[in-house]
Structure 1
Amino acid sequence: MNTQTRPSLWKYFILCLTRNYCSFSGTAPRREFWGFYLFLYLFSLIFGIAAAVLFAAALPWGELKGVHDQAQMQAMLFPHIASFVLVVQIIMMAFYLPIWGVTIRRLRDAGFSTAWGYGYMALGIIGLLNWAVLDRFQYEGGPVTQFLGILSSAYWLLLIILACFPSRPAAEDTPE
C-alpha cells in the first residue's frame, strides 16, 4: 500500500473507536493494531496522572495526619480507593470492545485462529466477574484473583507476540 494513502496511526485509533468500535469481522493490519494501542496507552497514562492528582486532592489529609493506627487509616482510605478503582473500571469498560475487536481482527490478518482472541475475551469477562462479585466482598485479592492476573498477563504477552507477525496474503480465488 502506498504510504500516501494509508491512514495515520491517529486515524486508525479514531477508526477503532468509531466505525470499528464493535467490529470483530475483517482484518486489522499491524499499523492499525499498534496505532490503536499507542494512543490508548498514551491516553491511559494522561488519564492516570490526572486521576491520581484528583484522587490525592480529594483525600482528607487533615484527618489522616492525626491517625496513627494502620487499621483506622485503611478504613478511612478504602472508600476513596474503591471509588477511584470503580470509576477507572467503568471508563475502561468503554474500551473493552474496541480492544478485543482490533485484537481479533489483527489475529485474523496475521493468519492465526481467532479463538486466541476470543479466549482472551473470555478471560477478561471472567476477570471482570471475579472483580465485580468475589473481590468486592473481601479486602485482599485471593488466590483466584492472583491466578487470573498471572494467566491474563501471560496470555496477553502471547497475543502481543502473535500480533507482531506480518499479514498473510489473502487467499486467491482459484477455480476448482
Structure 2
Amino acid sequence: MRGEVLHYDEDQGFGFITGADGNRYTFVREDLRREATIGRGTAIEFQPAGGRARDVISIRAQAASPPVATAAPTQAGNAPVAPQRFGRFAENAPATDLWSYFRRGLTDNYFNFSGRARRKEYWGYCLFWTIALIVVGGVGLFIDDATGHLDELPAVTVGLCGTFALATIPPWIGLNVRRLHDIGLTGWLFLAVLIPTIGWLIILAFALIPTQARENQWGPVPAGVKTS
C-alpha cells in the first residue's frame, strides 16, 4: 500500500503513516526495509499489519533508475494527472460521522490500541453501543416471552446481552486507550477503572477533555478536528 509519512522521530526511532486507505499506522526503525531519509511528507510504500506498518520503503529510494521524462504525467487526451493525496485530504479518507466511528470500532479498530480518538469518536461509539444493546435486549425479551420464560429466568435475554457485552470489550478498551492518547496521556491510565467507586468517574472525566489540537507522540490530530 502507498502512503505518506506524517511524523518520524529519528532519535526515538518511531513514526506515523497515513495510508491511501485513509487509516493511520505506526512504524519503528526496524520496519524500514533499507536505509533512506524518511521525514514528514515522504511518499512511501508499506505492508499494513493491523495498526502497524511493515516493510516501509521510500518510493524515491525504491526507484532503480531516473525518470525518462521531466514532464508531468498525463493520461489519454494529454490531461495532467492530479497528484495523489493521502490522509484527511484523500477522497477515500475515513468518514467522521457517529455511525462510522461505531462501525470502525467493531471492525478496523477492534484490537487497535494505538493512535488517537477524538471526543466525537468516543461518544459516537457509546451512543450506538447503547442502541445496539437495547436492540439485542429487545430481541432476547421477545424470544423469552414467546417461549414462556419471561416470568422465570430470561435466559435468552441474559445470554444475548452478555455475549454482546463480552464481544465488545476489546474495542471498548482500545477506544479508551486512544482517547487518553488524544489528550496527551498514556493509555495505562485506563487502569483507573479498577479503583472502586470512583474509577469510572475518572475515565468519564478524561473522556470529556478536548482533543489536543497538535500532533503528539501518539499521532497527528484526528481527522475532522479543527486546529485553528
TM class by shorter-chain length? Answer: 0.5 to 0.7
1:8 aligns with 2:97: yes
Give the aligned length: 126
Residue ranges of structure 1 left out of the alignment (5+ in a row)? 65-76, 124-147
1:160 aligns with 2:204: yes
More helix by percentage: 1
Find the aligned partners of 2:169 and 2:161 in 1 and give their Cα distance: 12
1:91 aligns with 2:161: no
Evaluate the alpha carbon distance shift between residue 83 and residue 108 of structure 1 in structure 2; reply closer, same or farther with a 3 A threshold. Answer: same
The answer to whether the Cα contact below 8 Å between 1:104 and 1:118 also exists between their aligned partners in 2 is no
> Equivalent residues in 2 for 1:94-133 (5 A)?
94-120=167-193, 123=194
The answer to whether the Cα contact below 8 Å between 2:116 and 2:181 also exists between their aligned partners in 1 is yes
> Equivalent residues in 2 for 1:1-176 (5 A)?
7-59=96-148, 77=152, 80-82=153-155, 84-120=157-193, 123=194, 151=196, 154-168=198-212, 169-171=214-216
| TM-score, normalising length: structure 2 | 0.48
DSSP-derived class of the 1:18 partner: coil
Find the aligned partners of 1:44 and 1:54 in 2 and give their Cα distance: 15
Cα offset, 1:44, TM superposition = 1.1
Aligned residues: CA RMSD = 2.9
Cα offset, 1:29, TM superposition = 0.9
Percentage identity across paired residues of the two chains: 28
Q: Which has the larger radius of gyration?
A: 2
Evaluate the alpha carbon distance shift between residue 92 and residue 46 of structure 1 in structure 2; reply closer, same or farther with a 3 A threshold. Answer: same
Evaluate the alpha carbon distance shift between residue 84 and residue 11 of structure 1 in structure 2; reply closer, same or farther with a 3 A threshold. Answer: closer
Evaluate the alpha carbon distance shift between residue 22 and residue 171 of structure 1 in structure 2; reply closer, same or farther with a 3 A threshold. Answer: closer
Cα offset, 1:20, TM superposition = 0.7
Cα offset, 1:94, TM superposition = 1.1
DSSP-derived class of the 1:51 partner: helix
DSSP-derived class of the 1:28 partner: coil
More strand by percentage: 2
Residue ranges of structure 2 left out of the alignment (5+ in a row)? 1-87, 218-228
Evaluate the alpha carbon distance shift between residue 112 and residue 102 of structure 1 in structure 2; reply closer, same or farther with a 3 A threshold. Answer: same
Cα offset, 1:119, TM superposition = 4.3
Evaluate the alpha carbon distance shift between residue 39 and residue 105 of structure 1 in structure 2; reply closer, same or farther with a 3 A threshold. Answer: same
Cα offset, 1:26, TM superposition = 0.8
Find the aligned partners of 1:84 and 1:46 in 2 and give their Cα distance: 11
Moved over 4 A (4+): none
The answer to whether the Cα contact below 8 Å between 2:119 and 2:207 also exists between their aligned partners in 1 is yes
Evaluate the alpha carbon distance shift between residue 83 and residue 171 of structure 1 in structure 2; reply closer, same or farther with a 3 A threshold. Answer: closer
Partner deviation per Cα, 1:87-115 (whole Å, 9 max, x = no partner): 32122211110111101100110123322
